Chain A
Amino acid sequence: MKELMVILNELRPEVDFSTETNLLDGGILDSFDMVSLIGDINDTFEVELTFDDIDADNFNSAEAMWSMIERLKSEG
């Protein structure tokens, strides 16, 4: 989770990712953010996310992203 927070804070330092729960639905993260974010998550956590995985359930909060990463890692 700590590594994910580093990625998110580097991406958008002005956003409080520890409390924000409307990142995608609220338009806080735009398409460019998503391109960078998916690339960084793939590189850091060795998963293979694509644009098809963009879903509010997975990206509306840092916690939701972490759950998705853990799920993908456990699926191998």
Chain B
Amino acid sequence: MRFQNVIIVGSGQLALWCAAYIKEKTESTNNTSYIYFDTSDKISVMMEKGLRLQKIKYECGNKNFIFEKIRKTNGYTLVISAINPFLFPKDIVKDKKIEIINCHQSLLPNHPGRNAEAWAIFEGDKVAGVTWHKVTEDVDAGNILIQKQIKLTDEITSCQLFKKQINIAYKAFIELMSEFLNQQVWERVQEGKDIMKRKIHYSWEVPNDGYLDLKWDSKKISAFLRAMDYGVLCILGYPKIVINGQEYYFKKYEIEKLVQPNVDVVLKKEEKQILIYRDNLEFKLLQYSKNKR
């Protein structure tokens, strides 16, 4: 192995799987491996259980704690960033003894930044995917090491896509690591978009600021609802709608295909649901409440 140390930074199932894989690889050598994760993450409880169970060495703390640990490593170090929300500081990225790779939930150069799966759905992409890439000073701009595609259906939600991405990202990781741990692999420069002009999505950005626009057609309304849908994780908050100047948020929705398009009614507010009719679809917005603007 060409690295003296392997460090995994991240959270959730992908980080756990990567850590287990690396543990197995480093156990047969004298190399060290550690996983570091942020305790503020919602799923850190699950993470810790998995790590203990698989006897993987770990430490948890805030991002400064994690970065200090990386800075203090001796020897050539591989840092694997898997569902890691933090940007690495310049001094770590520039350190010649440290090589950082990151898993991004899109087919870069599309959708750099946070919550890429939601943006892919909201923007009506036909194909999404994952990219393992080198980390450079610019966000999600480094050379591509491996990519895998996922076809998007008209029903998929952000939560469902994220799960598919994690599974395929791990498959790609194994494929990549079979060579990468021992030798340099072929890298592809991100092409097609000027790195400096790319639209990077930040964590505070939400499709259409979280508002369902009643002017949208059925495809866009469906894409918006599915993009906002992270199940109980509720990563982007609850979607909102404004009706006659009053803002409402809603916790659930259903989309149903109508045999015959409802041309007489476009919007109906009932006690337990708000109904929107577009083309041949009926959108039920459920568990809604008034929102203070």
Contact = CB atoms under 8 A, between A and B. Distances in A.
Interface of A: 24-27, 30-32, 34-36, 38-39, 42-43, 49-51, 54-55
Contacts, number: 42
B43 A31 contact: yes
A31 B47 contact: yes
Contacts of A34: 43, 46
A27 B45 CA distance: 12
5 contacts: A31-B12, A31-B43, A38-B232, A39-B231, A54-B45
Given A31-B13, A32-B13, A35-B233, A51 B45 contact: yes
Interface of B: 12-13, 42-43, 45-47, 49-50, 53-54, 159, 163, 166, 231-233, 252
A54 B13 CA distance: 16
Contacts of B54: 27
A31 B42 CA distance: 10
Nearest to B41: A51
B232 A30 contact: no
B232 A25 contact: no
A34 B46 CA distance: 9
Contact of A36 (B13, B42, B53, B231): B231
B49 A24 contact: yes
Contact of A51 (B42, B49, B50, B53): B42
